[in-house]
Structure 1
């Protein structure tokens, strides 16, 4: 099968698996909301999970995979699988030792970490102690996720996308099972134990899938291998640049802790919805294109790299801009139907909806950033996203402080959206220094057309919802409004002959072999 057609099929497979994962994730969040609402315990869990999640991103799965894939893919391209598996084995050994040491140190000094990350919690001893305990349970996940990062990178390099995409589905299912079985006995601790157990299961599934397929892994540690040296040089800027995203979340958590655990938990609940289009579409496109980016760069084929990147971004905009518009006009209704049950009341819905509105403005740019960053990683220019992210980290802190006063926790979310837009503009400008001039006018025109169509769609959906709500109730009215909005959007895209619509159609119908590689930018 043609390589580009394989990529199109891989995109569909990953998207389908990711949708399943997000649905399972939503089921998990619904159960969490039903059991705990936006209670202080939920606020403690939110902080407890974000702390190891920061270290996970800095050093574990995503960062390791991002630094590992270009080097591993280069070796495979040169048909040197024996050396490829050797460096993979060494990387697993180094990852295990480093993350184990960091985990032990973090667990010992956890009270001090909580003082820094959630200073607003220090006035409530019970809340503070609960946060420390939950963090210590969750923290060992970074070890298993670090190993998973290497295994996932290997599978992606060999074009095995299905199992890595399905593993998070199982991860969510395991957490749900632990919650349902042990919530009454363990309370919020059931969520923490569920995450730890699920992470181990996720690693086991991918390891078993890789085992014996392409080569053999063995336990090894060495810092002298030239490929390991190259990866370690890459992983520092990759880790820090990816970590900047979570550093921003970390800064947001610090400011939000002063607004109370309920508003902090509201931001987290809104972030779960905000992250849905990123998780399904942006990360899907990025996951499929990253190995292709690495291959094109290895061949110094900038002529195809540039249009592939631009087409990927335009597809992300085509999907995420209308989603953002719907989230803005129907935020309260969406939050209510997802979360409002059990301990999660109408006041909680209002808090989460307020956060979601402001998060929604940044969805297209945050999604596009995931792809542009991968472009830099393929070029092995990993410090550039780090520099940009560092500047935006400072901007985010300043904007948090300025915007939380007039907009409460919504201001913190709006700060995230503004920083995402600044980050995207800067990265697009800077990547042209590495690959040459890119004609961005078609991308800008597409973005404006998509935004115009999305505004019409959102307005029609909002009017239709208000008309139907009194007749049919929330569920039917929202479902029909979203469905009608989707039909309107697709119809207008077809009438205006949007290139993004044609590409999306070709991907799902497997009609076109060069789906995303077209020299139109």
Structure 2
């Protein structure tokens, strides 16, 4: 072991030397373990859904609407929550915990208002939105998707607010609940499927999704409320007198929000263009993405959740050298762990798909279609992880404008490559396009972070 450590770069040796006692390492292990449990629950749900509905029209319509709402909530979570964490860390460092908590309350109110406004607009424009995104759907399928969009509005509100509350908990380094509560959504779907028995359709999935999202946000609200002061004077002050740092959060949120719309639109663009292909293509792409999410769930997700507050603290203390070392060490370790998983997923793609999904309405032909797409999609994993970690550093540095350029460039490149590759490879071409875009974005984000750190060191 000493000989192996001697061959590693200095930042990696430094991180390894801290061992399991490091707050970063122990936090990563905790979040990774909880995420694995959550993914087991989610895949149990997916297996039941696959057995009940296969790649039927009901599932195609639900997947499109669910993906669109998830995208909307995630994009909004890339606005206020992203700009909130660095501001929260700096305010707590300079003004104390109570001032930081007041900022958290006010940001939560603003975030819920933004979710409600977006939800109302989407519900009113449901036929137009579905008509565009579900271009390849039949008239009956489009009508069903529009009805599902209206019914899933509570999911958007609860799921979106839960993402903000999760960012607040992680900013205070409370990783346990933030990582475990989201599994209530798939648990709600599984419960609804069990209750429905053989009478499963898209509305069964809607009911379970809404129940799970309500439970998720309720648990997080209770956890945060227990940490806040209970005096009425503090709450009156928090709701009537705006924290000066809120202006900074709102100003920084807009570039992150626009960047999140551009970068996060890739999933919606992929699903929309998959809907132009043969029937079931949206579901095939969704199943493939879920399998890639197994590796991403135990690497990129925990890394981003645990490292973000540490990056924000280092930036608040102006420790630029420590921030650069933490970036190199974290990215190196996580990507090294992800590469073997990526190769394993590529080599055994048909086995994974058949084991997890091939039963009931999901037959051997469906397994072959999903495995073909998965072989391409698997190679996005190391690039996605590197880009995710680097993006958290960029957010901590508040390099919003530079990230905005990268995000819009990625959106245009993704659509162009989709159009080019899907004509020859079908759904697999969309997966290959995603790999190329993630590779380019990861390299560009790392370059931006290092350039900003060098500039701040020089200043």
Q: Same fold (TM over 0.5)?
A: yes
Deviations 1:447-502 (A, max 9, x none): xxxxxxxxxxxxxxxxxxxxxxxxxxxxxxxxxxxxxxxxxxxxxxxxxxxxxxxx
The change in CA–CA distance for 1:404 and 1:208 in structure 2 (over 3 A counts) is: same
Give the corresponding residue for 1:296.
Answer: 314
Give the corresponding residue for 1:90.
Answer: 106
The change in CA–CA distance for 1:30 and 1:223 in structure 2 (over 3 A counts) is: farther
Matches within 5 A, 1:360-439: 360-436=378-454
Q: Distance in 2 between matches of 1:208 and 1:225?
A: 23
The change in CA–CA distance for 1:37 and 1:84 in structure 2 (over 3 A counts) is: same
Give the corresponding residue for 2:163.
Answer: 149
Does the Cα contact within 8 Å between 1:91 and 1:221 map onto a contact in 2? no
Q: CA deviation at 1:169?
A: 2.3
Q: Distance in 2 between matches of 1:223 and 1:383?
A: 30
Q: Distance in 2 between matches of 1:389 and 1:154?
A: 24
Give the corresponding residue for 1:310.
Answer: 328
Q: Distance in 1 between matches of 2:330 and 2:425?
A: 34
Return the match for 1:11 from 24, 28, 48. 28
In the comparison of the two structures, how many residue pairs are matched?
434
When the two chains are superposed, the root-mean-square deviation of aligned CA atoms in Å is 2.1
The change in CA–CA distance for 1:221 and 1:383 in structure 2 (over 3 A counts) is: farther
Q: Distance in 2 between matches of 1:233 and 1:222?
A: 20
Is 2:83 the counterpart of 1:67? Answer: yes
Matches within 5 A, 1:29-108: 29-59=46-76, 61-108=77-124
The change in CA–CA distance for 1:119 and 1:433 in structure 2 (over 3 A counts) is: same
Deviations 1:184-207 (A, max 9, x none): 445121112211111110111112
Q: CA deviation at 1:62?
A: 4.9
Return the match for 1:233 from 251, 257, 265. 251
Give the corresponding residue for 1:453.
Answer: none
TM-score (norm 1): 0.79
Q: Distance in 2 between matches of 1:3 and 1:268?
A: 36
Q: Distance in 1 between matches of 2:241 and 2:422?
A: 46
Q: CA deviation at 1:79?
A: 4.7
Give the corresponding residue for 2:212.
Answer: 198
Q: Distance in 2 between matches of 1:35 and 1:150?
A: 33
Q: Distance in 2 between matches of 1:277 and 1:293?
A: 23
Q: CA deviation at 1:209?
A: 1.8
Q: Distance in 1 between matches of 2:260 and 2:121?
A: 22
Give the corresponding residue for 2:149.
Answer: 135
Q: Distance in 1 between matches of 2:79 and 2:206?
A: 23
In structure 2, runs of 5+ residues without a counterpart are 1-17
Q: Distance in 1 between matches of 2:274 and 2:163?
A: 30
Does the Cα contact within 8 Å between 2:71 and 2:265 map onto a contact in 1? yes
Q: Distance in 2 between matches of 1:154 and 1:49?
A: 25
Q: Distance in 2 between matches of 1:92 and 1:429?
A: 33
Q: CA deviation at 1:213?
A: 2.4
Does the Cα contact within 8 Å between 1:44 and 1:261 map onto a contact in 2? no
The change in CA–CA distance for 1:54 and 1:223 in structure 2 (over 3 A counts) is: farther
Q: Distance in 1 between matches of 2:49 and 2:192?
A: 11
Q: CA deviation at 1:256?
A: 0.8
In structure 1, runs of 5+ residues without a counterpart are 438-521
Q: Distance in 2 between matches of 1:212 and 1:340?
A: 45
